[in-house]
């Protein structure tokens, strides 16, 4: 599919538009997110062919050099097809083999023909990279996008805008933390995907004004614990009581379950009078009633599923072998294995929220132990759909032969239930009039809010952040420099530093220089070869702060 005409067009373009023309999308790597774009079913990320276009004039750039190859008029189809020889690119019926390319549309958006998001054509800010896989059997569509623009396409798709501004702000901070926190990546070509496998990102055509405001009014703000970004997990509905990370997730490297505790992701009840739900009796009391809590308006606050014994046996014949591949079904089963008749189902271990950590299925053929909340949910499917959550209680009817004749499962919540509950955040915002930082502090224990911690060493580091009530402080976690020079909203200052002792941070109140809302600060360590580790901490309420006089 190589046509000489296309090659000639490219050569003429390179001569007349200059080889040194740089790709217009020039953003530092730490400021962007690489998002793998899936199909209409939000599953397959690898493509064999695709057609892209720009809503305005766009440019095709060589990925390696970032030099422009060709300018393309608005709404012109740019077709890509995988081949063993390379990426076959077709424009106006002329084709050429090109290397991996980047498409930018400086004054518009980039679309993917035939791709829908929320019933609308998929459109994206930033740049689109077409990246071939190693075998050249396919390629990936990767959206390179600045974090703020990325979040504008995440927040209204992860949380209904009807939940209110403060809930949306909490969602924006959690989503910012999520994408910035290091994680194991299934693909080296991108950081996250646009589906629930990471967090839902539907692009520019699904942005909402209130959600965009929430993103802007939390600009630069992340949640921190012990001076590090937290893994800000969240789910739809906790059910009234969130669960500890260790009780719901396995270690991503060793598969150990329960995993290592994360102090900021511990089980939190919506009300202080809720006792830990660690046995079947307490689980029946809690999830058998609609006890008032922050999640009560969720359609999944309480739910019920039901099977006949035969129906569940048929389900388990499929799900137990499938989930055996995770390593959390013992003994493992293979497809076609006979599990026999169900005799009993016993919950062996629960977390503080009542979440099942381990369950046993006793059958006429043996006893099978299933661990970990997601595996348990996927084992007990109804009509091909997993249980809404593992906050579940089993009730059984036994026939005269000791076989389970009917199984009823009732429970509460939707999702893993660790970290922020989105329905709970909405309730706290609308019904309790709580600001976003109180919502985050409820769900993430012991956190503080601030900018990303940085190391300043002979270089200027500029950060922007939104201060909700115009109060903030510089937190120095370590320093070998005697001074720190800063510029806050255009005002130049210098602070004398002393090395923090016994792991206690040094804090400098800068509230008198902070505006309510948007702020910029530039940090500089003026001593050659010395460094300062620091971040800007937001102060959400009036409290006594340590203040060090500045030397102007």
* pLDDT higher at 546 or 442: 442
- Phi, psi dihedral angles at 52 (to 5 degrees): -115, 165
Return the pLDDT at 503.
Answer: 66
Per cent of the chain over pLDDT 90 is: 76
For residue range 302-319, list pLDDT tens digits in order. Answer: 999 999 999 999 999 999
Return the pLDDT at 24.
Answer: 47
Residue-range domain boundaries for the chain? 1-214, 221-450, 451-538
Per-residue pLDDT at 127 exceeds 80: yes
CA–CA dist 422, 258 (Å, integer): 25
Return the pLDDT at 63.
Answer: 80
**What integer is the mean pLDDT of 2-16?**
37
Strand (E) or helix (H) holding 212 = helix 209-216
Say what the pTM is.
0.90
Q: Is 498 exposed, middle or buried (0-12, 13-18, 19+ CB in 10 A)?
A: exposed
For residue range 75-101, list pLDDT tens digits in order. Answer: 999 999 988 888 899 998 888 888 788
What does the DSSP assignment read for 513-542? G--SEEEEEEEE--STT--EEEEEEE--S-
Question: Which among 208, 392, 365 has a CA at the least distance from the CA of 284?
Answer: 392
Looking at domain 451-538, its CATH superfamily turns out to be Galactose-binding domain-like (2.60.120.260)
Mean pLDDT, the chain, rounded, equals: 89
CA–CA dist 15, 465 (Å, integer): 44
Which range has the worst mean pLDDT, 22-36, 412-426, 516-530?
22-36
Tokens of 499: 């090395």
For residue range 155-194, list pLDDT tens digits in order. Answer: 999 999 999 999 999 999 999 999 998 766 667 888 899 9
For residue range 246-288, list pLDDT tens digits in order. Answer: 999 999 889 999 999 999 999 999 999 999 999 999 999 999 9
Question: Which among 173, 157, 90 has a CA at the least distance from the CA of 122?
Answer: 157
Q: Is 532 exposed, middle or buried (0-12, 13-18, 19+ CB in 10 A)?
A: buried
Q: For residues 150 and 179, is the Cβ–Cβ distance under 8 A?
A: yes
pLDDT band at 428 (very low <50, low <70, confident <90, very high): very high
Return the pLDDT at 225.
Answer: 97
Sign of the CA dihedral running 437, 438, 442, 443:
negative
What does the DSSP assignment read for 129-141? EEEE-TTSS-EEE
For residue range 43-79, list pLDDT tens digits in order. Answer: 899 999 999 999 999 999 888 777 888 899 999 999 9
Return the pLDDT at 541.
Answer: 66
pLDDT band at 23 (very low <50, low <70, confident <90, very high): low
């Amino acid at each position: 599919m190589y046509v000489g005409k296309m090659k000639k067009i490219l050569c003429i373009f390179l001569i007349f538009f200059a080889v040194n023309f740089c790709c217009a999308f020039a953003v530092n790597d730490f400021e962007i997110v690489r998002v793998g774009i899936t199909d209409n079913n939000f599953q397959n990320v690898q493509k064999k062919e695709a057609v892209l276009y720009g809503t305005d004039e766009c440019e095709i750039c060589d990925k390696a050099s970032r030099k422009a190859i060709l300018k393309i008029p608005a709404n012109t189809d740019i077709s890509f097809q995988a081949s063993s020889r390379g990426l076959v690119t077709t424009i106006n019926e002329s084709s050429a083999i090109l290397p991996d390319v980047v498409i930018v549309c400086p004054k518009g958006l980039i679309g993917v023909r035939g791709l829908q998001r929320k019933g609308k054509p998929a459109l994206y800010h930033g740049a689109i990279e077409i990246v071939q896989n190693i075998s050249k059997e396919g390629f990936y569509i990767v959206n390179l996008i600045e974090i703020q623009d990325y979040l504008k396409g995440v927040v209204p798709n992860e949380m209904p805008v009807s939940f209110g501004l403060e809930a949306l702000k909490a969602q924006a901070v959690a989503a910012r933390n999520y994408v910035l926190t290091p994680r194991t990546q299934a693909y080296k070509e991108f950081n996250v995907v646009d589906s629930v496998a990471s967090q839902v990102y539907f692009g520019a055509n699904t942005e909402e004004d209130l959600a965009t405001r929430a993103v802007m009014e939390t600009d630069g703000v992340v949640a921190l614990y012990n001076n590090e970004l937290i893994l800000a997990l969240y789910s739809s509905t906790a059910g009234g009581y969130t669960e500890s990370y260790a009780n719901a997730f396995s270690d991503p490297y060793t598969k150990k379950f329960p995993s290592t505790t994360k102090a900021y992701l511990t089980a939190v009840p919506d009300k202080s009078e809720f006792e830990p739900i660690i046995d079947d009796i307490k689980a029946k009391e809690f999830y058998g009633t609609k006890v008032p809590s922050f999640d009560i308006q969720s359609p999944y606050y309480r739910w019920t599923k039901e099977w006949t014994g035969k129906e569940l046996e048929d389900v388990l014949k499929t799900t137990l072998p499938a989930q055996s591949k995770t390593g959390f079904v013992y003994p493992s089963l293979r497809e076609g294995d006979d599990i026999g008749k169900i005799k009993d189902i016993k919950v062996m271990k629960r977390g503080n929220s009542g979440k099942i950590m381990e369950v046993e299925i006793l059958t006429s053929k043996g006893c099978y132990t299933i661990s970990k909340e997601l595996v348990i949910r996927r084992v007990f499917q109804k009509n091909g759909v997993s249980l809404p959550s593992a906050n579940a209680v089993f009730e059984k009817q036994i026939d005269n032969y000791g076989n389970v004749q009917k199984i009823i499962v009732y429970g509460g919540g939707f999702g893993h239930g660790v970290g922020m509950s989105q329905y709970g955040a909405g309730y706290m915002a609308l019904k309790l009039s709580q600001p976003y930082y109180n919502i985050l502090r409820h769900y993430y224990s012991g956190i503080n809010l601030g900018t990303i911690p940085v190391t300043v060493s002979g270089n200027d580091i500029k950060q922007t952040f939104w201060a909700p009530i115009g109060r903030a402080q510089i937190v120095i976690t370590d320093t070998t420099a005697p001074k720190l020079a800063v510029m806050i909203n255009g005002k130049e200052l210098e602070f004398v530093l002393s090395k923090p002792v016994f792991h206690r941070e040094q804090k400098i109140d800068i509230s008198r220089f902070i505006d309510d809302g948007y702020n910029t600060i530039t940090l500089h360590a003026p001593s050659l070869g010395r460094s300062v580790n620091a971040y800007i901490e937001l102060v959400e309420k009036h409290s006594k702060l340590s203040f060090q006089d500045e030397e102007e």
